[in-house]
Amino acid sequence: MRILFQLLVLLATAPAAAVIRVDINSGTASPLPVAVPTFPATADAATAAGTTSALGNQVAAIIAADLGSSGLFRPVDAVVVVVPADVTAPRFDAWRASPAQALVTGNVTANPDGGVTVGCYAYDVASSEELARQGFVTTAANWRRAAHKCADLVYARLTGETGYFDSRIVYVSETGPKTTRIKRLAVMDQDGANHRFLTNGQNLVLTPRFAPNQQTLTYMSFAENRPRVWLYTIGTGRQEAIGEGANMSFSPRFSPDGARLVYSISQNGTTDIYRMDIANRSVTRLTHGPGINTSPSYSPDGSRIVFESDRGGGQQIYTMNADGSGQQRISFGEGRAGTPVWSPRGDLIAFTRLTTGKFRIGVMRPDGSGERLLTNAYQDEGPTWSPNGRVVLFFRTAAGRTGKVDLHSIDLSGTNERTIKTPLDASDPAWSPLLP
């Protein structure tokens, strides 16, 4: 069920240079006030997802929630009742009475083919200038994605960075006692909507990761008591074991072009990293011990791989070329370091820092310099990056008998920590690329 999005270029003059701008590095300290009033309905028409006026209400709420969740924006109450004519010609004098510095408005119209068009307009209130406008045409079922795309447009225009709201999260849903946890793959929109379980909990499953096309997952399953790497096709529900042989394979991740997997195989107590060409299943060994070598993650250009190894005595982070050459340690400092994940921007590596009794999420440059710890709790583990490399999502396990575990996100600046709501406990998140 591939979803096609059609961009509609709304007639507009080229926007003038924005007067307002959000500083992405310090913006969470003083978020930009933004008003997102209910999108007015020109003609209230029925769609498969509800009336266009009801959708206009919900679309505005989603945009406000998206922008607010970034910590860079502060949604404020609308002081002006927006009528259809205001969408293209806002009454700026009235808006200037509110704290809002930016105004996001638009409309939802029903299309003859049953789909909807969401028009998205952003304005600088102080200067009365238009910042951005775009129309998103999609199926009625996909209306939330159009709202996320509008929020991404506003985010990009005001921060200068690509947005991340039209994206999804795959993770492991957990329930039951700590000693006999039931784990299921689940997928949801970045904001928790459209939640869906992918497996039934019969088999222990771990570490799902998206393919670049977002349609395929790789993960580890204990199905048939043979722990190994599997593929899952989201559209069809097809599951396929790809780890062969009797040895455990685990910790899989796709290459940036989606053609390969990197993962670990354990054999008689030693664990090494391998690469598989998915098309012909040919396997190349990339590390040759000693010790445990696991958690491989490609750089976004596919030329390098970051991974963890205890070859030096304790768990530390290393990089190598994609062919396995040039292996070198990059993490130093107190304690151990594991679960490295290369940022989609390429500039940073997120990882788990293990110190006495604690796991914390940190980031460092690919040469190991500039280490910063972002979180502080009993066990924060398993970071994954937002598609634009600005936000890190991870799972937090509480100490004690409940084993309570849930998903949290934090801005790269170490601020704006948020809990991601899930129906049950949650671990092992992986953020998708931005959807097409």
State in angstroms the smallest separation of the CB of 169 from another protein.
17
Size of the site for another protein (CB under 8 A): 43
Applying CB under 8 A, the span of 157-165, 187-195, 261-269, 384-392 interacting with another protein comes to 261-269
Nearer to another protein, 99 or 245 (CB): 245
Which residue from 8, 156, 206, 242 is in contact with another protein, where contact means CB under 8 A? 206
Which residue from 1, 13, 180, 224 is in contact with another protein, where contact means CB under 8 A? 180
Q: What is the CA radius of gyration of the chain?
A: 23
Q: Is 295 in the site for another protein (CB under 8 A)?
A: yes
Applying CB under 8 A, the span of 60-68, 94-102, 277-285, 375-383 interacting with another protein comes to 375-383
Nearer to another protein, 68 or 252 (CB): 252
Q: Which of 135, 132, 167, 133 is nearest to 148 (CA)?
A: 167
- 341 - beta bridge partners? 350
Phi, psi for residue 331 in degrees, rounded to 5:
-100, 135
Q: Is 264 in the site for another protein (CB under 8 A)?
A: yes
Query: Tokens 């570490």 — which residue?
Result: 207
Nearer to another protein, 133 or 228 (CB): 228
Q: Is 316 in the site for another protein (CB under 8 A)?
A: no
Which string of b and e fits 338-356 if b means at least 16 CB within 10 Å? bbbbbbbeeebbbbbbbee
Applying CB under 8 A, the span of 57-65, 242-250, 342-350, 362-370 interacting with another protein comes to 242-250
Nearer to another protein, 205 or 276 (CB): 205
Q: Is 245 in the site for another protein (CB under 8 A)?
A: no
Nearer to another protein, 348 or 354 (CB): 354
What distance in Å separates the CA atoms of residue 54 and residue 16, rounded to the nearest whole number? 33
Q: Is 310 in the site for another protein (CB under 8 A)?
A: yes
Which residue from 200, 225, 280, 369 is in contact with another protein, where contact means CB under 8 A? 225
CA distances (Å), origin 51, targets 36, 72, 142, 150, 161: 19, 31, 14, 19, 33
Which residue from 86, 130, 166, 308 is in contact with another protein, where contact means CB under 8 A? 308
State in angstroms the smallest separation of the CB of 171 from another protein.
13
Q: Is 199 in the site for another protein (CB under 8 A)?
A: no
State in angstroms the smallest separation of the CB of 342 from another protein.
16
What distance in Å separates the CA atoms of residue 430 and residue 389, rounded to the nearest whole number? 13
Nearer to another protein, 146 or 170 (CB): 170
**Binding footprint of another protein on the chain (CB under 8 A):** 177-181, 183, 204, 206-207, 222, 225, 227, 246, 248, 250-251, 264, 266, 268-269, 271, 292, 294-295, 308, 310, 315, 338-339, 352, 354, 357, 359, 378-379, 381-382, 397, 399-401, 403, 428
